[in-house]
Amino acid sequence: MIRLIEENDPKAFHLLQSLYPHFGKAFIIGITGSPGVGKSTIINKLIREFRKSDFSVAVIAVDPTSPYSGGAILGDRLRMQDHATDEKVFIRSMASRGRAGGVSRAAKDAVIVLDAMGYDIIIIETVGAGQSEFEVSNIAHSTGIVSIPGTCDGIQAVKAGILETGDIFIVNKSDKDGADVTMHQLTMIIDLANGNNWKPCVLKTIAHDGTGIEELAAVFLSHWKFMEKNNLLEAKKREHKINYFTSLLKDLTLEKLLLFMENSSEYREVLNKVLSQEIDPIHAAEQVVKEIISPFVYEEQTHEKKPNGLHELRVKK
């Protein structure tokens, strides 16, 4: 099913339609951080903790698609082999397929599927925590940002404005020098954060031997409870739905527009002017919107509502 979604197969959308009403019960955790910090190893151990409380767990592990070849090697599974034959653990590797934020729309849809299938906890693992629509915090209820001592990753992430999106900051490989320093730096910066109801915390772990993982699992679960109790979960889910819907709209609209523009000679004229630097891109863009695209929008508004709405955009003569 997830495969159909990845391939943009129309069957997928019908299936999604039928599943959609059933989704919304799972607790969705996002784990993000630079390559090599130990995300997969942490998740491997987290799964074990969650399984102890008999939660069923699904994992979506996202790896980057090569921009040159379009292919990818999806190797996060390797670190999660402990659960190879556990029926209540589902691990799915996905390629980012061009999404700069590291999570494709297909991944988001996959979450819906897994949620509807009844997994209690869904973990999404990705690289990068940027601001694009599909980055982890727009899908996850609770986001963990992983860094390691000696690098400034955690600090960079925090400085880059990820402050609002990180709920739990994890310093992995904390047996290495500098772990305490990193921890203190993070703690200090987070303290300056705006008053979210949930106070983000910093935890130390040594994923490969399991140190700190029990506590980490407990923190995620208590975050879950906390949000449920204070109606924050509902608010977050609402926000996610809105964001998702908006981004879908943006996506579809852009897709159609681009397609249409490729066939428009006026558009090509303007583009050539931009390329030869006759006009600057800003004016050119405004021109395109005003003279080529907008007329349709205005046209649509004055005419009767067509049943297909956005699905048809005609080329103006």
Partner 1 sequence: MGVAKYIKDERGGIKEVTYQSGIKVKPAYGPQDLEERGFTYEKDLGAPGEFPFTRSLHPQSYRSRAWTTRQYTGFGTPEETNERFKLMIANGQNGLNVAFDLPTQMGYDSDHPLAEGEVGRVGMAIDSLKDFETAFAGIPLDRIGSGLTINGVATIMMAMYQATAEKFGYSKEQISTTPQNDILKEMIGRGAWIFPVEHGVRLVGDSIEYAVKELPKSNPVSICGYHIRESGATPAQEIAYAFEIARAYIDNVVKRGIAPEDFVGRFSFNFNVYGNMWEQIAKFRAARKLWAKMLKNEYGVTDKKKLFLRGLFGGGGSGLTKEQPENNIMRGAYYALGAALSGAQTTALCSFDEAYTIPTPRSALLSLRTLELLMDEVGLRDTVDPLAGSYFIETLTLEMEEKILEEMKEVKKLGGMVNCISSGLIQRKVSRQAYEFEKGLQSGEYKKVGLSSPETDKISNDAANNKSGKTNVELHEYNEEWARKSKANLKELRTARDNKEVEQSLAALEKAARTSDNVMPHLVKCCHAYATVGEMAGVFRKVFGEWNEPDFY
Partner 2 sequence: MENKIRGKKIRVLIAKPGLDGHDKGAKIVALALRDAGMEVIYSGLHQTLEQIIHTATQEAVDIIGLSIMSGAHLPICEKLIVMMEKAGLSDINLVVGGVIPFQDIPGLKEMGVSAVFPGGTSFEEIVHGMKDLFKK
**Would you tell me which residues interact with partner 2 (CB under 8 A)?**
2-3, 6-8, 65-75, 77-78, 81, 84-85, 90-93, 95, 97-98
Q: HSE (CB half, 13 Å, CA atoms) of 78? A: 6
Joined tokens for residue 116: 């509807």
State which residue, 35 or 71, has the beta carbon closest to partner 2.
71
Instruction: Work out what residue 147 binds among partner 1, partner 2, none; the CB cut-off runs from 5 to 8 Å by kind.
Output: none
Identity of the residue, 93 or 143, whose beta carbon is nearer to partner 2 in the bound complex: 93
Using CB under 8 A as the binding rule, whether residue 78 contacts partner 1 is answered as yes
CA distance 91 to 68: 27
Residue for token pair 């066939």: 263
CB of 211 to partner 1, least distance (A): 13
Contacts of 315 (CB under 8 A, 6+ apart): 260, 263, 264
Task: Rank residues 105 and 223 by Cβ distance to partner 2 and give the closer one.
Answer: 105
Torsion of CA 301, 306, 308, 313, to 10 degrees: -50
Q: Which does 3 bind (CB under 5 to 8 A by kind): partner 1, partner 2, none?
A: partner 2
Beta-carbon contacts of 19 under 8 Å, excluding residues fewer than 6 positions away, are 112, 113, 116
Q: Which is nearer to partner 1, 150 or 281 (CB)?
A: 150
* Secondary structure (3-state) at 143: strand
Residue located via tokens 């607790």: 27
Q: Which does 98 bind (CB under 5 to 8 A by kind): partner 1, partner 2, none?
A: partner 2
Contact indicator for 7, 105 with CB cutoff of 8 Å:
no
> Interface with partner 1 includes 52 (CB under 8 A)?
no
3-state secondary structure of 59: strand
Could you tell me which residues come within 8 angstroms of residue 55 by beta carbon, excluding any fewer than 6 positions away?
Answer: 120, 121
Pick between residue 80 and residue 217 the one whose CB is nearest to partner 1: 80
The verdict on 170 binding partner 1 (CB under 8 A) reads no
- If one asks whether residue 237 binds partner 1 (CB under 8 A), the answer comes out as no
CB of 61 to partner 1, least distance (A): 10
Q: Residue 80 interacts with partner 1 (CB under 8 A)?
A: yes
Beta bridge partners of 142: 29
Among 7, 14, 36, 310, binds partner 1 (CB under 8 A): 36
Partner interacting with residue 44 (select from partner 1, partner 2, none; CB below 5-8 Å by kind):
partner 1
Interface positions with partner 1 (CB under 8 A)? 36, 41, 44, 73, 75-76, 78-82, 176, 208-209
